[in-house]
Structure 1
């Protein structure tokens, strides 16, 4: 016999209240605040203006005509589309009209005025992107001084107690992502306009700091360089020239390729920096290539190696890692390099790149810098200092170690002592000292993917004055192009699409803005921006 569970009276009452609430909701669905009935089916068939779709409308590389404009807008109106967002874009679109309409020329403005008036007459909402292309806020009218910037530096080491009179090495003026590496990444790197990328540089500060006792260079430690193949020297791997690469071929038959440092006696190592460029097909916005495994290994006899840690890829060309102190006579970075992937011709052709006839790259990896440090550095300082947009920086904490660090009171501001030609005259106190000459140069990011004539530098996002000047210029151009039909009618909105402008970590007023916003001076902490630990690992991480 089937048994039935008794339902408690309280549960029955709850069910009744729930059914009553559902009934009330169904009634409310058919009512407005004024009590008028809404027919949901009719609402879907003829939705209000606020619920109708807007569409992206790209003018691709000047392939525009008034006939095409009228056909598109009248179709939008007939099909119930409420408006459009206009992008003057580029990519590799071929010319299919008799005459291209080049951005902001009289012919282009005439077509845009025609568009504005027609859209207004049809009741279509009209918007434009924040720049030519769809990312982000840049154009030919942005001057180098107004463009996105990054911190750069040079380091000079001197002995204390002796007068120093010399020219400090000029920090890199290269337009690019980091120090003297001239890559910008994203669409920008592949959308060359045929023009030289502008160069800009300005000094920011000069500071000196007493070096920790154990902060010695590999040359001072008499390190010897060996490798599984290729040609590498201690000078090339430690000279600070990040753009001078040497090729390390992949190991044969699945074996590891490696670069090794040999010391005459056991040394304790706490950090390493590496600048590498993996082989593989590279397209704008897309990097193809093998996933290389990188491992730091140590040995006491140069034959039997033990793994220390697997080195992650990192977010920019140079990556610095700090680990638990390891003592050994031999240290090597081992690379396990799989075969390159098949080239995707479809992706390549989308960016206007013909891969027919391209040969797969030789298996291997390019290395320009490989430095081991007995004095700890800030773990992944490049990510923490804003040279990348890496996520999870709170998981990159620098290991707390008993090693010596730079003391904040040992950081001295020498900015006023350097002349305009970079000459510094100064007598340091006793000890070993490092002098940092810091400045800023361009990241090189451009608005994209715009037509060549509408492509220029991205504006400095950290400078309110530069951003204001950018948009005033940009909107004045459209005010002229629309005959003033902007605001409540005609051109009504600006939209921003996907961010492909990279990162920047410096601006003209960075030092002042920092002290105003954070309440303390950056000067004693500037060495941390170059990887040196100031006060403690925790304090330096917190500053960055």
Structure 2
């Protein structure tokens, strides 16, 4: 009897689930963060790290270069030594059967570097106001547009439009959540409300063609009290972080495919070229990690993109973003919804989605943590990735991202 039972156990088919735990497939092996600390990297150290990973069953690593107050080492980010060591890491990982994923810039947030010029950086709407009384021929320099919030001042301003409208009789303060309503900062759960002074759309005059290259407006103002609104855009001044000095620079415009192409060519394309035939095999993943660089609400092609996505011209309503009500509170609130929806759509398509397209063209997958303090839709943005990721901390932080 006992012999028969033993024979049955011996010939019973193995449980696939149990067998998977005994010998996990490569797809189930854990991956780890692999931080290169401010250029303190050597070939010997790289090989030792990777061999240790192999020994304990780690199947892959996400590569970062970060600066967290550690004295600089000899391998400056994106310099010849760093690129040589990165190629060495890819070759050694290939030898050991370990997959590598590369973060798209120095630091862990988000997408920037010294190759990003101010015109390709994250942009935010800015404006200035001038009060005049007509009738008169007004000819004077208008104040430079200023943004309601930036991280750091960058010497770069571009005009968008100049408007004139009859000054509202009552100067109503902007709502306390004004920055969220206009896409400067992330706003969750906003309820419809816009309690500004009304400026009927019929009374708004476009004076853009009367502003010269020096910022001087010449206009024959009709009788009455007029507000002149000069609107432009400036960089948010946010840099990638925590990055060593040689990898530190402005964050790229998240709403522009053209700007993201320049960022890709500044870093990822070079490392992929260095990897040669190992790109797509060993180095097989590109990463946008933690999004901690804030919002933006403009890009040079915003008008065209808004018209394409929403079906009407945003320009007559742009004073709403400066705190004025155009037409009615309801009309202005509907415009702000469309404005924020357009920002979120462009984040998803032109930043997260386009980065994924660039990865795929190079034979890489795309991983992303699709959440943070930007004006995007987490699920919409996460849907663009091959591997959407979350996080949780031992103290309970960020459990909602899983």
Is TM more than 0.5 here?
yes
Q: Retained in 1: the 8 A contact 2:145–2:230?
A: yes
Partner of 1:421: 214
CA distance in 2, matches of 1:523, 1:44: 60
Q: Retained in 2: the 8 A contact 1:413–1:523?
A: no
Is 1:431 equivalent to 2:224 in the alignment? yes
CA positional deviation for 1:36: 7.1
CA positional deviation for 1:128: 0.4
Partner of 2:356: none
CA positional deviation for 1:45: 2.5
Partner of 1:56: 33
Partner of 1:392: 189
CA distance in 2, matches of 1:160, 1:518: 37
| 3-state SS of 1:80 partner | coil
Q: Retained in 1: the 8 A contact 2:154–2:234?
A: no
Pick aligned residue for 2:260 from 464, 467, 475:
467
CA distance in 1, matches of 2:269, 2:83: 12
CA positional deviation for 1:480: 4.1
Partner of 1:511: 303
Mark the CA change 1:476 to 1:398 in structure 2 (over 3 Å): closer, same or farther: closer
CA positional deviation for 1:38: 3.2
CA distance in 2, matches of 1:448, 1:65: 23
Give ranges in structure 1 of 5+ residues lacking alignment.
1-34, 173-177, 185-196, 217-270, 273-319, 322-378
| 3-state SS of 2:298 partner | coil
1:116-171 deviation digits (Å, cap 9, x = unpaired): 11101111111101211111111111111111111111101111322211111121
Pick aligned residue for 2:162 from 202, 206, 209:
206
TM-score normalised by length of structure 1 = 0.57
Q: Retained in 2: the 8 A contact 1:113–1:483?
A: no
CA distance in 1, matches of 2:63, 2:197: 58
Count of aligned pairs: 325
Q: Retained in 2: the 8 A contact 1:207–1:523?
A: no
CA positional deviation for 1:37: 4.4
Q: Which has the larger radius of gyration?
A: 1
| 3-state SS of 1:421 partner | coil
* Larger relative helix fraction: 2
CA distance in 2, matches of 1:36, 1:130: 46
CA positional deviation for 1:110: 1.7
CA distance in 2, matches of 1:131, 1:201: 26
TM-score normalised by length of structure 2 = 0.76
CA distance in 1, matches of 2:327, 2:306: 19
* Larger relative strand fraction: 1
CA distance in 1, matches of 2:231, 2:79: 42
CA positional deviation for 1:41: 3.1
Measured on the aligned residues, the alpha-carbon RMSD in Å equals 2.1
1:28-39 equivalent positions in 2, closer than 5 A: 37-39=14-16
Is 1:155 equivalent to 2:141 in the alignment? no
Partner of 2:331: 539
More RCO (CA 8 Å, sep 6+): 1
Q: Retained in 2: the 8 A contact 1:109–1:482?
A: no
Partner of 2:291: 499
